Structure 1
Amino acid sequence: MSEPAPPLDPWPAPRPVAPVDRVVSLPGSKSLTNRALLLAALADGPSVVRRPLRSRDTLLMAAALGSLGTGVEDRDGDWQVTPQAWDRDADVDCGLAGTVMRFVPPVVGLARGTVRFDGDPHMRLRPVGPMLAALTALGVDVADGGRGALPFDVRGAGSVPGGTVTIDASASSQFVSALLLAGARYDRGVDVRHVGKPVPSLPHIEMTVQMLRRHGVEVDDADANRWAVAPGPVAAVDHHIEPDLSNAAPFLALGAATGGRVTVRDWPAETTQPGDELREVLTLMGCEVVHRDGDLTVSGPDRLQGVDLDLHDVGELTPAIAALCALADSPSHLRGVAHIRGHETDRLTALATELGRLGADVTEHDDGLTIRPAPLHGATFRTYADHRMAHAGVILGLAVDDVLVEDVATTAKTFPDFAAAWSLAVHGGAGS
């Protein structure tokens, strides 16, 4: 990884002076919000997305659907979504939102008009080619200049033949989810067959399947590496969005790293969110984890233990877990996450570089990291415009003086006002 530009607005990561005892409430799930918005736009009538996350990623999704003609109206903090005919040309800004870049093109085939997709500069490096090729095979007119990347155009003809398609989704589970979300509206539905290395982040595909079934869509996922969506209507269903459990990672780490206690309110009893795996990970690191009366409480140990983990299905948790491993008193090996090199940044190289900048003993592997105990010191922790990297930086600041987190505002991608919420959680105050 080339050396980035000088740091942007380095933010002093707050460090607590004693073990904390906090109760926090988190904003809604980005993954659930954007799937709910898309399915509402495809539905056979109006519906409401309740307690949605309002962040850069979800506002970009709402704007993308609105540019096609869907009515997305604020109703006392909820979103009222009214499906409308899509019969116009439009421009879609994907920002750094993989869900916008990958979920919206398959539905544009159902529109009438040309929709142009682009996003932030780094977004042009994120993988999307296999999905665009799959759309072409299903009968969608895609013009990408052969790049398999942003910018590209999708020319909607008002309907999509659909059918069976083979795709290599080893770079992102979103390739599969994108086709499934639109598939019920295709003439023959869609039958997606994955070939290649294992699909990462399978819980996100399970999330997609569960939400489709809530909308009355028939999905056959009985066979491994195959998902078939039958053609038919998408029923209008209201959604109540769960808290974002991946965004819980730094707050639970606050309890784990300080030997204190943090409770996250409204933790679901059952969920398809990958962040739910934090319960097992933190237990393995020596924490006490209790789920009671709808809340999750993590109490930290005197010393964190290193772990050996395959994070293939929960790769988005890697930055936070890696930061905790750098604070542990025994070695850790994190593996199975080669695919996170294609996330907002190459997260493996970024983590190895930035943890090393603070003195950590880190070895980067093709698919993970080995982290050994070492004395840490303050420095600027670069984020590469990646919200999860910012989470890693603030976690390290819990136990290391003088950690400066570059561009902490990048957390607005999925957590507006994160810096204020984090400072309140670390230092305490009203509502904490």
Structure 2
Amino acid sequence: MTAELWPAPVASSPVSATVPVPGSKSITNRALVLAALADGPSLIDGALRSRDTDLMADALRAMGASITVDGDTFTVVPGDLHGAEIECGLAGTVLRFLPPVAALADGEVLFTADDAAQKRPMGGTLDSLDALGARVTGSGDPERPLPFRVTGTGGLLGGEVHIDASASSQFVSGLLLAGARFDEGVTVVHTGTAIPSLPHVEMSVEMLRTAGVHVDAGFNRWTVHPGPVKGHHWVVEPDLSNATPFLAAAAVTGGTVRIPDWPMTTSQPGDQFRVILQDMGVNVEHYTHNGVLEVSGRPEGHLRGISWDLHDVGELTPTVAALCAVADGRSHLSGIAHLRGHETDRLAALQRELSSLGCDVTQTEDGLIIDPQPLTGGVWHTYADHRMATAGAVLGLVTPDVLVEDIATTSKTMPDFDLRWTQMVEG
């Protein structure tokens, strides 16, 4: 069946809008895991409601937690963990955070997922659990690890484990989030090259400490000491990565977009988008008196080409690449070889789709070289990847006749993206 094509709205004038964005997926799903492992009830306010967070909540319910929802508020009451069948969709946080939780369950937990999830690396999670003494069984094919099973006996000894997390920081975060419930806690030692998206590990450490867990963090080494996880009232920040396409709209059209409640300090990698925009010549103001982030593009959307190592903020790459495709000169994006194992091979997808619209794009060993050319309309394929979909919407603002395939894939992290986008364009 052919996915529906969404005509991306063209901005006939510079956009001007205030766009509230929902809560952070990364914070919401970490808070749900910690709440399910806590010693008492937790409240999560401002939570994101999306496919990824619904999958996480459903999975934790299936394993024994009580989770009720009222708008963007989750109330979580921990329960005895038991066997279940879990649908992971394409959510890396579910795929990699819940197997360590399943090792604490009393019974077998079966993990299934979308077909495209077979391409997402899982060795760091499954191998580390096996090394810690958990019973993990799967297909036996490292290229197609799903479905797999984790059979728990109500606890896990824990201890020190050496893993290569160079494919995903989530391998580390998943172990850390559950580690306080292991009998001996857990020490995770990373043995590979640099960990991508390291700020997400720092986010996990920060949230563990907020929940009363003792964590030691050093270079490529983290120790979570055994002990209770405290129930907590979590207040979720807006999802800064989900805000970036809207900020990019101001940049490409020479307009102004304001995002309310942008945090003064944060562990979210999306905060780095402010610096990227400034490097491209865009004006960025963060107003401390009301927390509004305001981005104003240059006249007629003129942008400078950039050379950026996006290793720590790889999730921003599709949006940044869209900006680079309409900049005034060459851009070189590096440090993102790990994106080949995301929802899709994002480097190949970006090269293919940008080239199809007329841009000159070359893949390197760890990134992309983008030489802008006049763009023409066409079908922008999304590969079931929400960030590819939003990148296509950005390009459509200044390129007539861009048809984004399956805009509904944005429901992974923002179910009403198309409505918010159209309202922004129409003012």
Aligned residues: 421
Q: Counterpart amino acid of 1:300?
A: G
1:301 to 283, 298, 301: 298
Three-state SS of the structure 2 residue aligned to 1:228 is strand
Give the match for residue 190 of structure 1: 186
1:241 aligns with 2:236: yes
Structure 2 gaps of 5+ residues are none
Residues of 2 paired with 1:59 and 1:312: CA distance? 28
Residues of 2 paired with 1:13 and 1:79: CA distance? 34
Is the CA contact (8 Å cut-off) linking 1:60 and 1:95 kept in structure 2? yes
Shift of 1:96: 0.4
Is the CA contact (8 Å cut-off) linking 2:89 and 2:117 kept in structure 1? yes
Residues of 2 paired with 1:366 and 1:422: CA distance? 34
1:126 aligns with 2:120: yes
Give the match for residue 63 of structure 2: 68
Cα RMSD for the two superposed structures? 0.9
Shift of 1:197: 1.1
Residues of 1 paired with 2:186 and 2:163: CA distance? 12
1:138 aligns with 2:135: no
Instruction: Please list, as runs of the form range in 1=range in 2, the aligned pairs for 1:10-409 lying within 5 A after superposition.
Output: 10-87=5-82, 89-148=83-142, 149-221=145-217, 223-292=218-287, 293-302=290-299, 303-409=302-408
Three-state SS of the structure 2 residue aligned to 1:248 is helix
Residues of 1 paired with 2:239 and 2:33: CA distance? 18
Is the CA contact (8 Å cut-off) linking 2:139 and 2:146 kept in structure 1? no
1:410 aligns with 2:404: no
Is the CA contact (8 Å cut-off) linking 2:49 and 2:72 kept in structure 1? no
Is the CA contact (8 Å cut-off) linking 1:363 and 1:370 kept in structure 2? yes
Residues of 2 paired with 1:123 and 1:373: CA distance? 32
Alignment TM-score, normalising by the size of structure 1: 0.96
Residues of 2 paired with 1:20 and 1:401: CA distance? 16
Instruction: Out of 74-83 and 162-171, give the one that drifted further.
Output: 74-83
Deviations, residues 192-232 of structure 1 (Å, cap 9, x unaligned): 000111000000000000000000101111x2100110000
Residues of 1 paired with 2:183 and 2:146: CA distance? 27
Is the CA contact (8 Å cut-off) linking 1:142 and 1:153 kept in structure 2? yes
Shift of 1:75: 3.3
Is the CA contact (8 Å cut-off) linking 1:173 and 1:200 kept in structure 2? yes
Shift of 1:146: 2.5
Shift of 1:393: 0.3
Shift of 1:147: 2.6
Shift of 1:290: 0.2
Residues of 2 paired with 1:275 and 1:240: CA distance? 18
Shift of 1:365: 1.2
Shift of 1:7: 5.1
Is the CA contact (8 Å cut-off) linking 1:129 and 1:147 kept in structure 2? no
Structure 1 gaps of 5+ residues are 1-5
Shift of 1:93: 0.1
Is the CA contact (8 Å cut-off) linking 2:84 and 2:108 kept in structure 1? yes
Is the CA contact (8 Å cut-off) linking 2:99 and 2:125 kept in structure 1? no
Q: Counterpart amino acid of 1:180?
A: L
Alignment TM-score, normalising by the size of structure 2: 0.97
Three-state SS of the structure 2 residue aligned to 1:95 is coil
Q: Counterpart amino acid of 1:130?
A: G
Deviations, residues 95-143 of structure 1 (Å, cap 9, x unaligned): 0000001000101111101010010001112101121110011111110
Residues of 2 paired with 1:13 and 1:294: CA distance? 30
Shift of 1:76: 4.7
Q: Counterpart amino acid of 2:205?
A: V
Deviations, residues 71-112 of structure 1 (Å, cap 9, x unaligned): 00123531100000113x310000000000100010111110
Three-state SS of the structure 2 residue aligned to 1:353 is helix
Three-state SS of the structure 2 residue aligned to 1:277 is helix
Shift of 1:255: 0.6
Is the CA contact (8 Å cut-off) linking 1:7 and 1:407 kept in structure 2? no
Residues of 2 paired with 1:70 and 1:157: CA distance? 17
Give the match for residue 3 of structure 1: none
Residues of 2 paired with 1:165 and 1:342: CA distance? 23
Shift of 1:249: 1.0
Deviations, residues 133-180 of structure 1 (Å, cap 9, x unaligned): 100111111101323421100001101000000000000000000000
State the identity as a percent. 57
